[in-house]
Amino acid sequence: MTREMLRVALEAVGQGRVVPYLGAGVAALGGALASPAALSARIEAEVRVPKRAQGNLWAAAQFVETRRFRATLEKMVVAAFAPPPGTNPIHDWLALVRPPMVIDAWYDPGLVRRFREGPADWGLVHGVSRNGEWAEIWHRTYGPDDSPLPQGADPGWRTLLYKPHGVAVPGHSFLVSDSDYVEVLTEIDIQSPIPEEVRSRRTGRGFLFLGCRFDDQLLRTYARQIAKRSGQGHVAVIEGPLTRMERLFLEELAIERIDLPLEAVVEELKTLGAPAA
């Protein structure tokens, strides 16, 4: 029954009825850092942070930004995601079926790189840090060739890739420090930071959460607000025991949980191909 539920959810993604929402666990399939805690450890290996900030990515990043300047922090994060990722079966499958929208809630650029290998009928919108910005800007839009598009996302794109936390590559931006999130979290309840095309494409669709954990308040807040006013039928693949806050979060959003590892998703994908055009 659990496997059947997973297969139905994946088929719904391929049919464009469900939006895949990817966490750090998916990026880890291709060799990228597997969690905020892992990225925090990478930062802490280079800069000694106060005990209160240890293991907390947003606080550790804020310490580096305050003591070593923003440019140092950005260089560290970009370097952490710089090694070429390995093959990622979930990224490969999404690039094959190309659903109307994919939410990628991690800094890893692997999915963007994978989409650039295919047809140029998609685009990228990602969150940006307002550090050093004077304008009220929440996100930027790019075409498949990485050219900036000031006019915003094209409703005609077959696929919209939305990376709410940004993307860790040179020339782009991302949110990672406490100060990055202050204004965003103030406005996110009224949806200002959520791009209009994202709001449009989530309407009437459920979400399939893959590689996500919701044991962090910031990650829960983003998932809650991005899924707001969407359709029904949310599913999350999360293996093992849940924290109390995770259980409450799943109940709040009426998310059906599948207690399987991501490897089970990969196995199911081997039997699925691209849907008929």
pLDDT at 137: 87
The pLDDT assigned to 227 comes to: 96
- The pLDDT value given to residue 127: 96
Instruction: Report all structural domains of the chain as residue ranges with CATH numbers, in order of start.
Output: 2-32+88-269 (3.40.50.1220), 35-80 (no CATH)
Structure tokens at 174: 């991302």
- pLDDT, position 157: 98
Q: What pLDDT is attached to residue 110?
A: 95
CA-to-CA dists, residue 203 to 152, 159, 230, 245, 250, angstroms: 19, 15, 5, 26, 20
Residue 85 confidence (pLDDT)? 76
The pTM assigned to this predicted structure is 0.96
Side-chain half-sphere exposure of 251, counting CA atoms within 13 A: 7
- Helix intervals (H) in 33-88: 36-44, 57-68, 70-80
The confidence score (pLDDT) of residue 183 equals 86
Contacts of 120 (CB under 8 A, 6+ apart): 143, 144, 145
Average pLDDT by stretches of 10, the chain with 277 residues: 91 96 96 95 94 94 93 96 88 96 97 96 95 78 96 96 97 94 90 95 98 96 95 96 97 97 94 64
Contacts of 204 (CB under 8 A, 6+ apart): 230, 231
Give the model's pLDDT for residue 273. Answer: 63
